[in-house]
Structures are given as C-alpha cells and as structure tokens.
Structure 1
Amino acid sequence: MAPKKRTTRLNPKTTTTTPTTTSITNAQLKAMIDQGVTVVLATRDANTNGVESHNSRTGVRRNERATHECTYPNFMKCQPLNFKGTEGVVELTQWVEKMEIVFRISNCSMENQIKFSTCTLLGNALTWCNSHVRTVGNDIAYAMTWTELKKKMTDKYCLRTEIKKLKVELWDLKVKGTDVIGYNQHFQELSLLCVRMFPEESDKIERYTGDLPDMIHQSVVASKPKTMKEAPEIATELMDKRIRTFAQRQTENKRKQDNNQQQQP
C-alpha cells in the first residue's frame, strides 16, 4: 500500500490532501480482466442457450424452447389409429393419414417412426408384421423408412380387385339432388384411394366438375379453379345461392297466390 501524499499549492497558507490511490500490479490487472471476460461470456451463453434471447435489430425478446425427443408415451398421447388389416384399402388409407399427422405433431424422429407406428398394429396386421421381423431380423426391419413400410402394407392390404371397384365407383359418382357437400366428401375420399387415376391436379378438377349438376356446372367451369381445394368451395357456394334463390321464389309465389285467392270473390 503506497503512503498518503500531501501536496502544497503556490499559496503556502493553504494545503489540500489528495485522495488515496492504490497501485495495482500487472498480474492483478490481468486477473481482473480475465474475471470480467469470464462473466461476460457466461452471461452470453446463458442468454443464447436459455429460454430468453434478444434480437438486436428489433429489440424484441422471444422465447426459444429446446426441442425434446419424442418418447413413446408422448407419441401415444396424440392418439394414432390402430390398424387390423380387415377393412382393406379404406382402413389402410385412414391409418396412414392419421399416422403422418401424429408424426408431425409429436416431432417423432425418423429413427422411431417404424418402432412407434408398428405398435399400433393389431390382429392380422400384427401377425404379418411379426412374421416380417422374424424373417429379416430386428435390425433390418426397424431400419426401413416410413415410405418403405407404406409400400409393403399397400402391397399386402390393397388388393387390385378392391381398387378396381373403387375406380368404378369414382367414375360413376354423381351429385344426388343438390347434395354437393356429400358429393365433395365422397369424391375426396375416393380420389385419395385412387391416386394413380389423376396424375395431375387438373385431371382431378376436370373429373370433379364433370359430374356437377347443370345448374352450377357452367359457372364452376367458368371460374377456372386451380386446385381441388377451390373447386368444391366454389361449387358449394354456388349451390347454396341456387337453393336460397329457389326458396325465395317459392315463398314469393306462395304469397302471390294467397293474395290472389283473397282478392277473388
């Protein structure tokens, strides 16, 4: 510790005392700097890896959640469908669609997709799966991709005769009366089961509009829908307008008839 120093101004009568100062060695200064750098780095890492991070451009703080690996209990909480293999192509299509939704919701990794999805198989489907595992071995069976599993199950449970019947049903599908909503639902179901019938989206739209009732057919075609999402929406809206107009005309005609009857002697 350095001794206190007293300084005297030009006026000998007045004296002042300077503040106490402490001399620091180079080693001590270096240690302080290192300590400060360590604190700064630790704070930065906490902000980067923690829940809260700061965006320097916008000044907005956002929450960052660490992605957790999907476990089997979490997978089952998303309620995947069971597949028994007894109802053919319709049951298989519904199982595949639901399973792919569950994969997305649960963040199921590709490594676990086969293990988790095959746990939903029951009855004949489970027997077929176990037989395949015994034939090729666990490592090979669970190393295949979801696409490969879908193909194997399609070859097993989607019989050609059944698909041919569905194609005939799709070609013969008509709108019953003004029930466009029922027609939309049935058409979508059959088109999903008969994917190869429509190589392009335009082919599916053309097939869909071809069997619409005459009262809305030309209007839907003139609107030129580009996707199969737009076409049913346009058809449903036009049919609703036609039904409302028809109901209004009936009400108006009935009112006129009642007035005429009252005016007659």
Structure 2
Amino acid sequence: MTDRRVAQETAEFTPGYDLSADEVGDLTAELLASLDCDWPAKYRYVGIEIAGDSPFSNIARHIERVVFEESFGNDAAQMTAEYGPYEAGSVFFVSIDRSTEMPSGALRIIGNSPRGFKTLNDARSEPFSIRPADVADQHGIDDPDALWDVGTVAVLPQHRSGAGAVSVQLYRAMYLSALQHGIDHLVSIIDDVPLRKLVGFLGIPFVPLAGSAPGPYLGSPKSQAVYCHVPDFQPRTRRHRWTVRGFLARKALARLARGSDDDALSLVS
C-alpha cells in the first residue's frame, strides 16, 4: 500500500529535512493510523512505501539528514541541494519501529526523473568519470523507465543491530516493488563499509558500475558506483545462503531471499 491518495489530496507540500523529534513522532503516528493494516504482533518493524510528494515522506528525509549528517557531515542545506533536483522522481521505503511508533530507517528510490538519475549524473565527474553511454552499453540498459537509482539508504544508529533487520527489510521492500514496476536495473553510489556487508554477507549482486574504481563522494572517503541486475537479485541471494558468510547471515537472508517477513511490508497493490 502506498500513500499516493494522501499525496494527491494535499495542495501544498514542501520537502524538508528539519522536522523536530515531536513532529516526526506525530507524523509517524498519523501515518500508522492512516493504514488499514493488521500486522501480527511478532513484527516489531514494518516497512511502508511512501510517495515522494506525500507529507509523510518528510519522515524519510528526516532520517536521511540525521544519518548522513552524523556520518558524512551532510546537513539539511546540503541534502536539499543534492536531492532537491530529484524529488519529482523520488519514492521512499520507510521502516517503523512499532514498539515506539518512531521511524528506524529509510531508503530512497529515484526513478526516471526530469533531471535523470543522480548516480549517473554524479558519476560523470571525478573520481568515477563514467559516461552514461558506457553504463548503457556494458549493462544492457536500453529503457530508462526500467532503471531505478538507489539514492540513499539510512538506518538510525539505535536500530543497526539485530542482524541488520531494518536494512534488510528496506532492501526486501525495494526488491518487491521493483518487480511490481518492471524494474530490471539498479544503480547507486554506496560507501565502502555498508557495501562490503551488502555483497559479502547478504550476497546482493552489486558490481562496479561500468568497471569503475572507488573514490571519495559526498563526505565518504571511499564509495563505489555500483550496478545490480534485478532479475539476478533473488537467485544470487538464495545461493549465497550456502556460503560460509551466508551461513553467518542466515537469519537476515531468510528475510531477504525467502521473504519470511513479507507480511510486515505495506507496498503498492
């Protein structure tokens, strides 16, 4: 279930990163109350897809700003400058902790927008120096409407334990939504530390974008521009369960590859 009805009925909405803690709490409680979902009590974390022009989407922007400011020094002004041009193509997946009725993490997708894709635009410059034509040729991308840009993934510090439950839920929600929308390709620029976990422990088939090398990006000392072929996502994560690292991440992979907690997701029907 997505929040497009609320977004369409709201005449004025301004994307923002400066919500107070009380405003985030009130908005999250309102979001949960607006959904007709009877989640089983066992699901502490629930994932919700939110249109980028919904007032509820500022919950996700708040998470982005808090996490990226702490990690890379990206304050609200910089986040607005970086992602403002892509708001028209943005959709968010938000994870909410039902025990506190507060958000725990968010993932931003940028679809085919009037400004294109942030990853492809930014990767033209140093340190990546990737030509979009090379991306299209090497990865077989011939339809921009079949491409999503994973613009941000942010999990609040107090929710980064529990076998990566929040980040796994966000990636699972994104994958299922990609299938529903006929998305074949993902691109992103990801900091080296989470990227090693995503590939090494979860088996998500990210590869260097057009064979590029890593480099500094938006405050991260080492990030990699990456590509993922969506049809390979589930087969690769399923096979990864039988590797040594996959065994260590078996609980997370049960959620990611087998969808053991899909009932905790509220996506487009």
Same fold by TM-score, threshold 0.5 exceeded?
no
Higher RCO (CA 8 Å, separation ≥ 6 residues): 2
TM-score, length of structure 2 as denominator length = 0.22
TM-score, length of structure 1 as denominator length = 0.23
Q: Which structure has more strand as a fraction of its residues?
A: 2
